[in-house]
């Protein structure tokens, strides 16, 4: 049941249109489970990969709701678990999620604070390299998030960012990964229509983390 409830949280966040809906995705009890209880059950069962994934998804909901310190803490815990696992895909997902959470939570410092910026860059690059070695379509998502990072740092202009996102969407179409293609296309359309601000990073662009 814990695995099923965690997957429901994932779907609910993909469909979320507000911060409240991100919160409800993890806090609503379904079959007697919210996401915190799922985490406890994964711990009891010694399912470390399941625990890491559930903590990641909880951290995403927390970031959407501005609970940044809690989000960082859980994302770090998930990465620590992943580092003990042979699952390279999980490691990449944890690295990319932590990088994104640090970027958004430290948005005012991103670019100006060299140590934070360096850490975010290293985590994103490491995740990208893992996805690339796995020959996994997640590399398109890490590329998209990396492009958004470069745009926020001033290394890409808006048109260059949109062009890059279009190319990545086309790559996913060629790879026949329909779910990632659909989400990335919707994120790109939202960016093109509304630009990138903190709210978009917390409630729209954040959904890229849910499909890797």
CATH number at residue 43: 1.25.40.10
The yes-or-no verdict on residue 211 having pLDDT over 90 is yes
Q: What is the pLDDT of residue 67?
A: 97
Helices 68-83 & 88-105 angle (0-180, nearest 10): 160
Domain coverage including residue 178: 2-211
Residue 135 pLDDT grade (very low, low, confident, very high; cuts 50, 70, 90): confident
Instruction: Work out the widest C-alpha separation in the chain, in whole angstroms.
Output: 49
The yes-or-no verdict on residue 99 having pLDDT over 90 is yes
Task: Give the Cα separation of 43 and 121 in Å (integer).
Answer: 31
The C-alpha angle 48, 49, 51, rounded to 5 degrees, equals 65
Task: Give the Cα separation of 55 and 209 in Å (integer).
Answer: 13
- Percentage above 90 pLDDT, the chain: 97
The C-alpha angle 169, 100, 205, rounded to 5 degrees, equals 45
Task: Give the Cα separation of 147 and 19 in Å (integer).
Answer: 25
* Total domain count, the chain: 1
Q: What is the pLDDT of residue 136?
A: 84
Mean pLDDT across the chain, nearest whole number?
A: 96
Helices 2-15 & 48-64 angle (0-180, nearest 10): 30
pLDDT in tens, 2-48: 899 999 999 999 999 999 999 999 999 999 999 999 999 999 999 99
Residue 164 pLDDT grade (very low, low, confident, very high; cuts 50, 70, 90): very high
> pTM for the complete prediction?
0.96
Q: What is the dihedral of CA 158, 122, 182, 5, to 10 degrees?
A: -140
Task: Give the Cα separation of 4 and 12 in Å (integer).
Answer: 12
Q: What is the pLDDT of residue 98?
A: 98
Which among 21, 22, 46, 51 has a CA at the least distance from the CA of 36? Answer: 51
pLDDT in tens, 65-87: 999 999 999 999 999 999 999 99
């Amino acid at each position: 049941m814990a695995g099923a409830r965690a997957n429901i949280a994932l779907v609910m966040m993909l469909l979320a249109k507000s911060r409240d809906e991100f919160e409800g995705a993890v806090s609503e009890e379904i079959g007697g489970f919210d996401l915190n209880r799922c985490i406890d059950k994964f711990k009891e069962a010694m399912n470390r990969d399941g625990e890491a994934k559930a903590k990641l998804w909880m951290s995403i909901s927390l970031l959407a709701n501005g609970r940044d310190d809690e989000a960082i803490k859980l994302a770090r815990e998930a990465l620590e678990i992943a580092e003990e696992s042979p699952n390279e895909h999980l490691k990449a997902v944890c690295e990319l999620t932590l990088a994104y959470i640090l970027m958004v939570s430290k948005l005012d410092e991103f670019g100006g604070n060299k140590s934070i910026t360096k850490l975010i860059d290293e985590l994103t690059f490491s995740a990208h390299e893992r996805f690339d070695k796995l020959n996994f379509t997640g590399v398109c998502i890490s590329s998209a998030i990396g492009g958004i990072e470069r745009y926020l740092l001033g290394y890409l202009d808006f048109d260059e960012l949109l062009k890059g996102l279009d190319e990545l969407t086309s790559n996913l179409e060629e790879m026949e990964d329909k779910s990632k293609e659909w989400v990335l296309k919707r994120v790109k359309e939202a960016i093109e229509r509304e630009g990138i601000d903190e709210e978009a990073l917390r409630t729209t662009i954040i959904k890229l983390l849910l499909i890797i």
